[in-house]
Structure 1
Amino acid sequence: MTLNQTENDPPISELVKLAAGGDRDAFAAVVDAQYDYIFRIAFKWLGDKSDAEDVTQNVVIKLAKSIQQFDGRSQFSSWLYRIALNAVRDHQRASNRQGRNVVALSLVSPTSAPSNQEDDVTMNEVWSAVRQLPEKQRDAVLMVYGEDMSHADCATIMGCKESTVSWYVHEAKKSLKGLL
């Protein structure tokens, strides 16, 4: 059950099936149930509320165009995460082409404030170093440590084997030791 869902609402999997079949009310319910999830993903990657809102809107539009393609082989949340991640990357590429300085991987969520200023500085240093990692290592670190995903879930989203995710995380840790 998602944050916006009540016990009487159909499960998200049922709503997704209905939405894929063209049921507009079911699609609206899916968007309502998943909107905060999409926004949280975009905000963690972009670190800017306005950019995250733009990306979230783009994801909703992409979702409307592609929900019929969801085949149920993976969890809907994993499939949706991949769509959101691709939208974030598209936004970052567009922003970089426009010469904007995009802050990626701002991983301190608005609800989890550090206990003191020293922790805040340390967290910023760590994630600043993470930003310097190669893309796949950065993705793995964000999902495993920033999103608290299992290596298996991360592998599903990244489209690789679980052992590959473990290798990316291992290589990232080695690189981070040198950067920090």
Structure 2
Amino acid sequence: MAHRVKTGDAELISLARQGDSAAFGQLVGRYYDFIYRVAFRWCGRQADAEDVAQDVCVRLARAIESYRGGSAFTTWLYSMTLNAARDLRRRSVREEMRNDAYRAHALSAASVEPAETHDPADELWQAVRQLSDKQRDAVLLVYGEELSHARAADVMGISEATVSWHIHEAKKRLKTLMRAAGEV
């Protein structure tokens, strides 16, 4: 019986770019939990995070050929995941605006939805989800994913100083939001 050697990311990416579906499947399997975790922190709802993760996997299938390795694969996945989460939110807002009756139905259905797992930081992450997209992205990447400001800047396509500014503004806004919610 031959022992299977764990294939590295670079090799899987190269094979997937050449159309190897097994290699692509291994890549998705290796990074699905990562994608879901980032999506859940951004969205805050299990169903939305699952939708985003699935969307990212579909996008990845279409875009893997264009990945050239100029940045880390996870940096590319962060960007893809954050973009997919924002796209989902935009679609949701448009759908809600088109059909108020549907929104009332969806809200009543959501109250029957099983409760998400609750952790002590849930109130804080709920407040983070009220921030602007750039502030939310910066907080998620720096505090949720523990990236350096430099790496977050790479993911967001902005300067490190701008990440620091978004973090500073987010902290001010979060303090206000948490105070209003009686948490501070």
Give distance in 1, aligned partners of 2:36 and 2:91.
19
Give distance in 1, aligned partners of 2:8 and 2:78.
18
Mapping of residues 17-36 of structure 1, within 5 Å: 17-36=14-33
Mapping of residues 94-113 of structure 1, within 5 Å: 94-99=91-96
CA deviations 1:81-138 (Å, max 9, x no partner) are 1111111111111111222589xxxxxx95xx64xxxxx3xx3443343233222112
TM-score (norm 1): 0.78
1:146 equivalent in structure 2? 144
> 1:24 is aligned with what amino acid?
S
Mapping of residues 83-94 of structure 1, within 5 Å: 83-94=80-91
Give distance in 1, aligned partners of 2:44 and 2:176.
25
Which residue, 10, 13, 19 being the options, matches 2:7? 10
Q: Which has the higher helix share?
A: 2
2:157 equivalent in structure 1? 159
Q: Answer with 1 or 2: which has the greater Rg.
A: 2
> 1:147 is aligned with what amino acid?
E
Give distance in 2, aligned partners of 1:33 and 1:128.
28
1:64 equivalent in structure 2? 61
Say whether residues 1:37 and 2:30 are aligned partners.
Answer: no
CA deviations 1:22-52 (Å, max 9, x no partner) are 2222111111111111111222222222222
Unpaired runs of 5+ residues, structure 1, are 1-6, 103-108, 115-119
Please identify, of 58-67 and 126-135, the stretch whose mean Cα deviation from structure 2 is larger. 126-135
| 4+ runs deviating over 3 angstroms | none
Aligned residues: 159
Say whether residues 1:74 and 2:102 are aligned partners.
Answer: no
Q: SS of 1:98's equivalent?
A: helix
Give distance in 2, aligned partners of 1:160 and 1:126.
25
Which residue, 36, 48, 52 being the options, matches 1:55? 52
TM-score (norm 2): 0.77
CA deviations 1:63-87 (Å, max 9, x no partner) are 1100011110100011011111111
Give distance in 1, aligned partners of 2:24 and 2:158.
29
* Percent of aligned pairs with the same amino acid: 50
CA 1:48–1:125 in 2, change beyond 3 Å: closer, same or farther? closer
Unpaired runs of 5+ residues, structure 2, are 97-102, 108-115, 180-184
How far is 1:151 from its partner?
0.9
